[in-house]
Structure 1
Amino acid sequence: MHPLDQQTPQALVGHPVHSLHSRSGNPAGPHAESRGAGRTDTPLDSPTTYPRHTAVDDAYGLFTGITLAATGIAILGQSGLITGGIAGMALLGSFLSPYSAALLVPLINVPFLLFALFTMGRSFALKSVLVSFALGAGVKLVSPALNASGINPEIGWVIGGTLLGMGILCLARHNASMGGTGAMVLWIQRRFAINAGISQLVCDCILFGVAAFFMPADKLIWSLIGTVAMNLVLIRWHKPGRYRG
C-alpha cells in the first residue's frame, strides 16, 4: 500500500495539490478529468472568493442594524421589560430615573466606546460611536409610533428580543456594535475564541442580578426570556469563520 493511502484525510490537508498528483498520478481515478470539467482550483476559503463590503454595503448594513435594534429596544421599553447589554442598562436606567433610554444609551456608552477604541481599532470605535447616537435617535423616533398604552410583555419579549438580536448581528457583520458590553464580548470572541453570545449571557446575568432589586418578578422573568431570545440569535448565527466579507 502506498504511504499516502495510510494517512487520514486530515493528514492530507497539508499536501499541495501538485505534490499529490506527482506522487500518485491522478488520485481521483481515470474519470476525474471529465468529472472536474468546469471546476477551478481556487480554494473555497480563498480571500478572492469573499470580496470585502463596499462603503454602500456598510452604510446600508449599519442603517438596517440600527433600525432593527431601535425597534427592538422601543418594543421592550413599551412592554416594561429590560434586556442585556447597553440596551438593558439604558432601559433599566429609564425606569429608575427621569431620563429616557434614548438619552441614556450614548451617555452610558462613553467608557465602553473608549475600550473599543483601544482594543477593536479606530474603524470599529468610530462606527460604534455613530451607531450609539443614531440608536438613541432611532429609539426616540420609533417609540411614539408604538401603542402608547403599552405592549403586552407576553408578546413584547419575543418580538423585542429577536429584533434587537438581529440588529446586533447586522452591526457585527459590518464591524460595528451598539457599544456597551457588545464591544467587549466581540473583543473576547476575537481574542479568546469564546462565542460572543455566551459571553453576553454572562454579562447579562450580572445586569439582571441588579435589576432583581428594582423590577417586579413577572416583568423580570419576561425580560430574562427575551434576553435569551436575543442571545440565541448571536449564538446560532454569529460564529467565527462562517461569514466573510
Structure 2
Amino acid sequence: MAEQQRRGLGFYSADPAQHTLLEDGQGLFIGAMVSALGFYFLNEVGLLTGGTAGVAFLLHYAFGISFGLLFFIVNLPFYYLSFKRLGLAFSLKTFIAIALVSVITEVESHFFLIQYLHPFWAALLGGLVLGYGLLGLYRHRASLGGVGILAIYIQERFGIQAGLIQLAFDLCVMLCAFAVVSPITVAWSVLGAVVLNLVLAINHRSDRYIVAR
C-alpha cells in the first residue's frame, strides 16, 4: 500500500523504462555535481579533457576566462543538433545539466580546498569521476553537450559506442593542447581522457539503459 502511494505521488516510476520528474531532477543534479567535481580535480593541476569541456579548458588556460562561462557558451551551437536528432526532452535536460555544471564549477572552490594533488592522481580520479557523472546523466537521457550529444546520437543510430566516439575527438583536442600547455600536462590529460572514455565504453550501452524519450 505504501509503495503504491509513493508511486501515486510520483516519487518514482512503476515502469522501469521511464522516469518521473523527481527522478530526472535528482539524477540531473547528482550527475552535474559529480561531473563538476571531476572538472575541479583537473582544473586544480592545470589539466584538461576532451570534447567541448576540453575546448573550454583550452580557452580558459589561454585567456584566463571563467571555465564555467566558457563551458556553457561552447555548447550553445550543439543544441540545434540535439533538438533535431534527439528530441526536445533530451535537449532540455542537457541544457539544464550544462547550466548546473557551469554554475557549480564556479562556486565549488568556495566550499573546499585541496592543498596538494599530484597530476597523476588528478587525471585518474578526474577521469573516473567525470565518467560516472556522465553515466548518471546518460541514464536520465541527458549529457554534457557537444560531442556527447553527437556521440549518443551515433550510438543510437549506428550502434557505435559513445565512449569510442568521444575518445577519437578527445585525441584531437589533446593535439591542440600542445599550443597552450606543456607536453607533460598533455600526457597527464590524455591519461584522464582515456580513463573517462573507458568508463563510458565499458559501462554504457544503449540496449542496457532503455529510457522512454
Deviation at 1:143, TM superposition (A): 2.7
Q: CA RMSD in A?
A: 1.6
Partners of 1:217 and 1:144 lie apart in 2 by 30
Q: Which runs of 4+ in 1 moved over 4 A?
A: none
Contact 2:47 2:185 in 1 (8 A): yes
Equivalent AA in structure 2 for residue 124 of structure 1: F
Indicate which of 172, 182, 188 corresponds to 1:206.
172
Deviation at 1:213, TM superposition (A): 2.1
In the superposition, relative to structure 1, how do residues 119 and 75 fare at CA in structure 2: closer, same or farther (>3 Å)?
Answer: same
Contact 1:86 1:179 in 2 (8 A): yes
Partners of 1:184 and 1:65 lie apart in 2 by 19
Match of 2:92 in 1: 126
What TM-score results when the alignment is normalised by the length of structure 1? 0.77
Partners of 1:88 and 1:149 lie apart in 2 by 24
Gaps of 5+ in 2: 1-13
Match of 1:93 in 2: 59
Partners of 2:45 and 2:110 lie apart in 1 by 13
Deviation at 1:67, TM superposition (A): 0.5
Indicate which of 130, 154, 169 corresponds to 1:188.
154
Answer yes or no: is 1:73 the counterpart of 2:39: yes
Deviation at 1:107, TM superposition (A): 0.5
In the superposition, relative to structure 1, how do residues 164 and 224 fare at CA in structure 2: closer, same or farther (>3 Å)?
Answer: same
Match of 2:82 in 1: 116
Match of 1:45 in 2: none
Question: How many pairs were matched up?
Answer: 198
Partners of 1:243 and 1:172 lie apart in 2 by 8
Indicate which of 211, 216, 235 corresponds to 2:182.
216
What TM-score results when the alignment is normalised by the length of structure 2? 0.88
Deviation at 1:190, TM superposition (A): 0.7
Find the residue that maps to 1:179 and give its secondary structure.
Answer: coil
Contact 1:75 1:143 in 2 (8 A): no
Deviation at 1:55, TM superposition (A): 1.3
Match of 1:12 in 2: none
Partners of 1:148 and 1:53 lie apart in 2 by 36
Partners of 1:184 and 1:51 lie apart in 2 by 23
Alignment of 1:231-242 (within 5 A): 231-242=197-208
Match of 2:3 in 1: none
Contact 1:162 1:233 in 2 (8 A): yes
Equivalent AA in structure 1 for residue 83 of structure 2: L
Alignment of 1:128-207 (within 5 A): 128-147=94-113, 151-207=117-173
Among all aligned residue pairs of Structure 1 and Structure 2, give the percentage whose two residues are the same amino acid.
Answer: 34
In the superposition, relative to structure 1, how do residues 49 and 131 fare at CA in structure 2: closer, same or farther (>3 Å)?
Answer: closer
Deviation at 1:108, TM superposition (A): 0.4
Partners of 1:189 and 1:103 lie apart in 2 by 29
Larger Rg: 1
